[in-house]
Amino acid sequence: MAIHNIDKLQPWEALLKKIVFTQLGNIRGKRILDFGSGNGFTANYFAQDNKVVAIEPSEETVKDRYCDYEYQQIVGSIDILKKLENETFDIIICHNVLEYADNREEIVNEFYRLLKSEGMLSIIKHNRQGRVMQMVVLLNDFEKAHMLLDGKDGTASNYGTIHYYNDSDLTDWCKKFKVCETYGIRTFWDLQQNQDIHKDVEWQQKMIEVELRVAQIKEFQDIASFHHLILKK
């Protein structure tokens, strides 16, 4: 599938999308839920060959969403999930969302209910250790590094407080889920101090290649900025 409008994204976001889409593989003919769909980039991408429902709480955000392909956009949150029928979706996508949610356990259990048998849940989440690496190596912000090491929450400029959680919390919240794959994302990118080179297309491709190569090596996962978990019902 073509990744339309990828050049409109910030380089770091484009890299993340390319890596995640590669990890998810060629998905066709599925019913997909994108929960916390933001500007709709991911929903729009998968809508090329799938039936997609996107749920986003911010009405302002969806006004300028990507919509080259047809998909259903709903403004709401867990209230919408609760109205959907059991076993509706083959795949649920929830990328960088649960860190900002108050009712994470409830949401994850709703995901399980909504997935068909053998359905897949794709979660992307912040990794605390990776954020510490970024603070020390890239940003020289030792105060925030110590705060994170002390177990305190972080912040994101556009979304507020980042409530970090462990990979294992997902299966603690819903013990019926099974983790099938774990990937590290942005292991090296977030440590690159030369910001100008981020825009170099050839450099980006080389970075993606090495990021994909180490994504399933635990030692590199431990220091990646994000983790991508694939869970199965």
Whether 128 contacts 119, CB under 8 Å = no
Structure tokens that stand for 87 in this block: 């076993």
Query: What confidence score (pLDDT) does residue 9 get?
Result: 87
Alpha carbon distance 164, 169 (integer Å): 10
Tell which wins on pLDDT, 155 or 1. 155
Per-residue pLDDT at 68 exceeds 80: yes
Give me 13's structure tokens.
Answer: 């976001």
pLDDT surpasses 80 at 4:
no
Q: What is the pLDDT confidence band of residue 155, given thresholds at 50, 70 and 90? A: confident
Q: Which two tokens stand for residue 43?
A: 């929903």
3-class SS at 52? strand
pLDDT at 228 over 80: yes
Per DSSP, helices labelled H in 124-224 are 128-133, 142-149, 169-173, 201-214, 218-221
Supply the pLDDT for residue 3: 79
pTM of the predicted model as reported, rounded to 2 decimal places: 0.95
Dist. CA 93–CA 108, nearest whole Å:
11
**Confidence band (pLDDT; 50, 70, 90) for 79?**
very high
- Give the mean model confidence (pLDDT) for residues 61-79: 96
What domains can you pick out in the chain, each with its CATH number? 6-232 (3.40.50.150)
DSSP labels, 13-31: HHHHHHHHHHHH----S-E
Query: In the structure, what pLDDT confidence band is assigned to residue 156 with cuts at 50, 70 and 90?
Result: confident
